[in-house]
């Protein structure tokens, strides 16, 4: 079985220090959390950035500052900026980090309710626009799918040339407004992608570790981190993103799955660095 790629979604756009005091806002806090995840075994950092007061931003300069600071400490880690940003941002605002030519970035494949009156909007034209940008810049999209219909949208847009093979999906499961995080849902999502595609699973809240275990057994990959869940176990806050990654590494060991280094993750995902 392929080695396990662990992605750490260290920050997100919505989770706050009120939820867990270790949620990073400042550049140095973001570096601290990225390093804790990397040291524990993460090869990819899924990155949102904030201003010092915690406000989410897609500002290119802030992304550059954070990426440079992370790379200064852990140069080989794969940085995967978010192009989802936060609910309500415009397309061009969200796309700013792609101007820095990262190896990967997220590509959200549909619109969904995001709690209360919030709608995370990704029309077909938005997905096409983002997909085209990523092809032009050689950025590997992580296809974020919050429901089965979003897999179908990604497959249609692949046929139309807006997404290239090999596809890499991120099943984000358990969001209020998206697909639930049950075993049945996981099997449905997993069975709906092409056989040659790779996937990672990001279980939200209490689904984080059960879904991680399923992906480990199945040969998929795993995302954990404060963006998705702030608890190490029921009622116990994680002290760092690294603690969440350590738990995945322990599970992987129990099931005999080795952990991929960033170089191995680049190979598995066919990132730009290995295609040259
Ligand atoms: N913050 C959410 C609205 C992504 O990173 O691409 C969107 C999100 C997805 O987190
Ligand atoms: Zn995100």
- Report whether pLDDT(202) > 90: yes
Among protein residues, the one whose CA lies closest to atom 3 of ligand 1: 86
- pLDDT tens, residue by residue, 45-91: 999 999 999 999 999 999 999 999 999 999 999 999 999 999 999 99
Structure tokens that stand for 10 in this block = 């260290």
How far is 7 from 200, CA to CA, in rounded Å?
8
Structure tokens that stand for 72 in this block = 């200064």
206 assigned to some structural domain: yes
How far is 126 from 123, CA to CA, in rounded Å?
5
Q: What pLDDT was estimated at residue 272?
A: 82
- Taking residues 153-164, report their average pLDDT: 98
Q: What pLDDT was estimated at residue 254?
A: 97
How far is 146 from 22, CA to CA, in rounded Å?
26
- CATH number of the domain that 253 lies in? 3.20.20.70
- Report whether pLDDT(276) > 80: no
Residue 31's Cα: distance from chain center in Å?
A: 17
- Counting Cα atoms < 13 Å in the Cβ hemisphere of 264 gives 13
Residue 27 CA, ligand 1 centroid: distance in Å: 19
1 assigned to some structural domain: no
Per the structure, the complete domain to which residue 75 belongs is given by: 6-274
8 Å CB contact between 273 and 43: no
63 assigned to some structural domain: yes
8 Å CB contact between 203 and 174: yes
142 assigned to some structural domain: yes
Residue 254 CA, ligand 1 centroid: distance in Å: 31
Look at the chain and report how many structural domains it folds into.
Answer: 1
Q: Which ligand is nearest to the CA of 9?
A: 2
For 270, counting Cβ atoms within 10 Å of its Cβ (0-12 exposed, 13-18 middle, 19+ buried), the class is middle
Among protein residues, the one whose CA lies closest to atom 4 of ligand 1: 84
Q: What pLDDT was estimated at residue 273?
A: 74
């Amino acid at each position: 079985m392929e080695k396990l790629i662990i992605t750490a979604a260290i920050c997100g756009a919505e989770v706050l220090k009120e939820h867990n005091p270790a949620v990073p806002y400042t550049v140095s806090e973001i570096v601290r959390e990225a390093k804790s995840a990397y040291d524990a075994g993460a090869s990819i950092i899924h990155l949102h950035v904030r201003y010092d007061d915690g406000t989410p931003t897609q500002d290119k300069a802030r992304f550059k500052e954070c990426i440079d600071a992370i790379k200064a400490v852990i140069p080989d880690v794969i940085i995967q900026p978010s192009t989802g940003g936060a609910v309500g941002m415009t397309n061009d605002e969200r796309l700013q980090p792609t101007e820095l030519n990262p190896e990967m970035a997220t590509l959200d494949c549909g619109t969904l309710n995001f709690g209360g009156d919030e709608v995370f909007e990704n029309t077909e034209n938005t997905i096409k626009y983002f997909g085209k940008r990523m092809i032009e810049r050689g950025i590997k999209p992580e296809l974020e799918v919050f429901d089965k219909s979003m897999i179908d949208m990604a497959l249609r847009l692949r046929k139309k040339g807006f997404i290239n093979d090999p596809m890499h999906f991120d099943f984000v499961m358990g969001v209020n407004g998206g697909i639930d995080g049950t075993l049945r849902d996981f099997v449905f999502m997993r069975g709906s992608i092409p056989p040659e595609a790779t996937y990672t699973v990001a279980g939200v809240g209490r689904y984080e570790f059960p879904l991680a275990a399923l992906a480990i057994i199945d040969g998929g990959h795993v995302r954990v981190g404060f963006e998705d869940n702030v608890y190490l176990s029921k009622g116990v806050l994680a002290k760092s993103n690294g603690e969440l990654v350590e738990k995945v590494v322990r599970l992987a060991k129990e099931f005999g799955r080795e952990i991929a280094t960033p170089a191995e993750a680049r190979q598995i995902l066919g990132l730009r660095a290995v295609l040259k």
